[in-house]
Amino acid sequence: MSKHTSPRNFIPHRGQAVDALAARAWLNHQCTSSPGGEEAAASLRHYRVNPENRNLALELPRAHARREFFNALNGASLATGGVLLPEGFIGGWIRAQSAVGAIRNAATVYRVGHGGIWNQPWCDGRDIEGEILVENRPSTPDDDVEFARGTYRLHRFASRSTRVPNSLLEDSPGFDEQLGYELGEQVARRRNRAFTHGTGVNEPVGIVPHAVQVPAASTGDVTLTDLKNLLKAVGDAHADPSTSALMVHKDLFASLCCAATSDVAVRFPFRDGKLFGLFPVLLNPAMDSTAESGKKTVVFGNFARYGIAEAGAVELQAAKETYIEYNQTVFRAVQPCDGKIMQPADNPFAVLVH
């Protein structure tokens, strides 16, 4: 497109090499002033982009995302009711996962490109020690490393169907990011509970039910001896300050730090928020908050050995017609994921049981 050609008059031909600036100007014009603007970006897939501008293909969906955001019955490539994610939505979604996802923040997260089943190989050979080779002497017999695989069955975690007044969609700048945070927080909270207490049946394998159980010294309290026994219960390779941590409810953690008679009397050696000055503390709202009989209050372990497989795509569903009489649009967000303890035979986690 020359400097004398306006975006209105620029019509690329199929197979034509499209300059990035020309294509972007044409796309912006189509999306803002043409009734068929939602097809504008899709049509550019038929044209060749100059090699130095290949990233243009990633920018095109963002240029018209807000327009698509309001189209509850997006047609061509998405299911009925699906919409493209608005530009700020994913930023709010990611912030919510970090704010509420206590276990996810410390776990090993695998981004997979699809839902369904995903297999991850692992081996169980942590107790095998190498050797020093000596000339003219045979090496020791081989010790077999046991190889296995973990199967992740990605479960569809969804937010609640959320009704949003259309006036907010039309008149509130940045609302798409707020919507992403609110829906993402609902999903993150449910996922965190599953990662903590999940049975593995139609949900992830949670840490608490599948950790080594360590009996507490007494009911109603957590002692320093209890914390030392948790440390001893995990495998030798899982007391690593760079990946291991203590996980507890914030209310119980407050009682661990300070005695009931004085807010400044330190009961346990927490320095800089770390147990013994080595192991960080994860505050998990899904953990039991009281040390009553039968409660499982404190977890210690190597959180890098908790694997989470999550689909890279977040699906945003919308319905404009359901509450049309209230002038509201219903939104729901879905992201498949699964979680499990990797190499469980190594005892990477221990839990205190009262």
Token match 């994860």: residue? 282
Per-position b or e across 182-215, b if 16+ CB within 10 A of its CB: bbbbbbbbbbbbbbbbbebeebbbbbbeebbebe
Residue-level pLDDT at 25: 57
What is the predicted pLDDT for the residue at 275?
A: 77
Per the listing, tokens 């977890």 go with 299
Indicate the average pLDDT of the chain. 76
Fold of 207-306+345-353: hypothetical protein PF0899 fold (3.30.2320)
**Which residue did the predictor score with more confidence, 271 or 52?**
271
Report the C-alpha gap between 348 and 234 in whole angstroms: 5
Which run of H or of E encompasses 272?
A: none
Query: In degrees rounded to 5, what are phi and psi of residue 347?
Result: 55, 60
pLDDT of residue 114: 72
Strongest mean pLDDT among 205-214, 215-224, 239-248: 205-214
- Delimiting residues of CATH 3.30.2320 domain(s) in the chain: 207-306+345-353
For residue 276, which of 232, 304, 241 has the smallest C-alpha distance?
241
pTM above 0.75, yes or no: no
Provide the 3-class DSSP secondary structure of residue 129: coil
For 89-124+145-203+308-341, CATH number out of 3.40.50, 1.10.3470, 3.30.2400, 1.20.1630 equals 3.30.2400
> 139 versus 280: which is more confidently predicted?
280
Mean pLDDT, rounded, for 139-149:
73
Q: How many CB atoms lie within 10 A of CB 138?
A: 7
Lowest mean pLDDT among 68-72, 110-114, 192-196, 232-236: 68-72
Average pLDDT on 141-163 reads: 84
pLDDT top residue among 345 and 60: 345
pLDDT band at 261 (very low <50, low <70, confident <90, very high): very low
3-state secondary structure of 268: coil
294 three-class SS: coil
Q: Which helix (H) or strand (E) holds 328?
A: strand 328-341
* pLDDT digit string, tens, across residues 263-288: 444 456 667 767 777 888 999 999 99
- The helix or strand, by DSSP H or E, that contains position 103, with its residue range, turns out to be helix 102-106
> In which element (H, E) is residue 209 found?
helix 207-210
- Place 29 in a pLDDT band, splitting at 50, 70 and 90: low
Numbered ranges of CATH 3.30.2400 in the chain: 89-124+145-203+308-341
Residue 10: CA atoms inside 13 Å, Cβ hemisphere, count? 23
Give the highest mean pLDDT range of 32-36, 73-77, 252-256.
Answer: 252-256
Query: Is the predicted pLDDT of residue 197 greater than 90, yes or no?
Result: yes
pLDDT at residue number 66 = 36
pLDDT at 72 over 50: no
Tell how strand 244-248 and strand 279-283 pair up.
parallel
| Predicted local distance difference test score (pLDDT) of residue 34 | 44
More confident residue, 170 or 253: 253
Stretch 156-183: mean pLDDT: 87
pLDDT value for 203: 95
Q: Which pair of structure tokens corresponds to residue 103?
A: 């276990």
Q: Please give the sequence-ordered ranges of beta strands (E in DSSP) within 127-243, or none if there are none.
A: 146-158, 162-165, 212-215
Q: What is the pLDDT of residue 319?
A: 85
For residues 85 and 70, give the distance between their C-alpha atoms in angstroms, rounded to a whole number: 10
Q: How confident is the model at residue 240 (pLDDT cuts 50, 70, 90)?
A: confident
| Residue-level pLDDT at 204 | 96
Average pLDDT in the 168-194 region?
A: 89
More confident residue, 198 or 167: 198
Measured CA to CA, the distance from residue 180 to residue 188 in angstroms comes to 12
| Rounded (to 5) percent helix, strand, coil in the chain | 35, 30, 40
Bridge partner list, 284: none
User: Which stretch, 4-8, 26-30, 278-282, 297-301, has highest mean pLDDT?
Assistant: 297-301
Residue 26, pLDDT score:
52
Q: How far apart are CA 15 and CA 203, in angstroms?
A: 48
pLDDT at 62 over 70: no
Nearest to 317 by CA among 84, 154, 38: 84
